[in-house]
Amino acid sequence: MTDQTATELAAGLAATAQPLEHARTLPRAAYTSAEVFALEQRALFGRMWLAVGREEDLPDAGSFITHAIGAERVLVVRGEDGVLRGYFNVCRHRGARLVEEACGRLRGAVACPYHAWTYSLDGRLLRAPRAERGFRPEAFPLVPVRLGTRDGFVFVNLDGEAPDLDAALADLPDLARYRLAELRRARRVEYTVEANWKVVAENYSECYHCPAVHPQLNRISELSAGGFVTGGSFSGGPMQLRPGFDTMSMSGTTALAPIAGLAGDDLRLIHYYLVYPNLMLGLHPQYALVHQAWPLAADRTRVSCEWLFPPATLAAPGFDPADMVEFWDLTNRQDWALCERVQRGAASAGCLPGPYHPSERCVHAFDRWYAEALAPHLGA
């Protein structure tokens, strides 16, 4: 990054970090610059805890998932001892990628397809064919990646010096009543959005656009129920169901039971949280909706969307999430069209930072976090 670009970007980030009433939106380079994108991969996605799967994806010894984080692809596997471990997905010999598949099950070991170096599920090198006398296999284990679990999510962190997961998410509101660790995936849809990942996150963080763009959503829920909350690791707030509706679906009604233990306001509210940098939680009375925005390029993002339900709901006779899936797939596609419109506009020299609307407090909270997190790394 040139000194001039870094100086201009620093000034723009400083303007974003001001209090809401004085702040300006992020400079367009934050959405369009390949240099900024590369810096984000190093300074944010390369240092933060990222949810790469669910514990249900790794039920047995040998179960594995792989996940791309920028140029890296991590391997997460459950060992014979039941412990989840993460590794950089490369052989210690010549650096070949060990596992290409997105998920599956290893039979007791992982073998490099190049020269058959073979590793145990706990990362030890078991065999290096025709190794010379004196070769020490214990000196060449798989390189570990830090791993933690929370609320059923499997998190990894590429930075060996980062605070542990519990410390990183210490200020996240208590979500225990939603039993997230017990919920199971009923459906997953992936989208490619031709927009910067932050545009997706910002769009998730406000409903200023909802009356005009999401008639099916605006019919069922109020724009805001108040209670905006923010912390070092998240921002969010609730929306309230309108009278006569009891869920977010095409019909707005459901025979599905609420998540066991929910009561009072939680039966009328949907809590939306953006856990930095890219995990979005929508907590509904009957289910949880999870989005994640994975940057592919400055102007392209892969978004995953998952619908999670209690096991008892999944097992109920005639269970069918189609009404909820259709509702959110429609809402998502409406949002992605807007995000792509924003990205096209961001390429224009006429795209200058503007003010935040008072209802965009969560957008500003995310942008301010981003500005303050990225600014110290501009000279890197």
Alpha-carbon gap, residue 214 to 218, rounded angstroms:
6
Tens of pLDDT along the chain (380 residues) come to 677 778 889 999 999 999 999 999 999 999 999 999 999 999 999 999 999 999 999 999 999 999 999 999 999 999 999 999 999 999 999 999 999 999 999 999 999 999 999 999 999 999 999 888 889 999 999 999 999 999 999 999 999 999 999 999 999 999 999 999 999 999 999 999 999 999 999 999 999 999 999 999 999 998 766 678 999 999 999 999 999 999 999 999 999 999 999 999 999 999 999 999 999 999 999 999 999 999 999 999 999 999 999 999 999 999 999 999 999 999 999 999 999 999 999 999 999 999 999 999 999 999 999 999 999 999 76
Query: 348 is written with which tokens?
Result: 């224009």
Alpha-carbon gap, residue 308 to 321, rounded angstroms:
10
- Whether the CB-CB separation of 286 and 249 falls below 8 Å is answered with no
**Residue closest to 158 by CA, chosen among 48, 38, 55, 276:** 48
Region of residue 65 (phi > 0: left; psi between -120 and 50: alpha; otherwise: beta)? beta
Note the pLDDT of residue 5: 76
Alpha-carbon gap, residue 362 to 276, rounded angstroms:
12
State the angle between helix axes of 361-374 and 197-204 in degrees (0 to 180), rounded to the nearest 10.
150
Fold of 50-168: Rieske Iron-sulfur Protein (2.102.10)
Domain ranges across the chain: 50-168, 176-377
Note the pLDDT of residue 380: 62
Which distant-in-sequence residues (6+ apart) come within 8 Å of 33 by Cβ?
5, 9, 298
Phi, psi of 145 (to 5 degrees): -115, 135
Report which residue type is found at 34: A
Three-state secondary structure string covering 171-228: CCCCCHHHCCCCCEEEEEEEEEECCCHHHHHHHHCCCCCHHHHCHHHHCCECCCCCCC
Alpha-carbon gap, residue 65 to 85, rounded angstroms:
11
Note the pLDDT of residue 78: 98
The CATH architecture assigned to 176-377 reads Alpha-Beta Complex (3.90)
CA distances from 148 to 68, 83, 351 (A): 17, 11, 40
Note the pLDDT of residue 108: 92
Alpha-carbon gap, residue 147 to 286, rounded angstroms:
29
**Residue closest to 277 by CA, chosen among 20, 17, 69:** 69
Region of residue 348 (phi > 0: left; psi between -120 and 50: alpha; otherwise: beta)? beta
DSSP 13-80: HHHHTS-TTT--PPPTHHHH-HHHHHHHIIIIITTS-EEEEEGGG--STTEEEEEEETTEEEEEEE-T
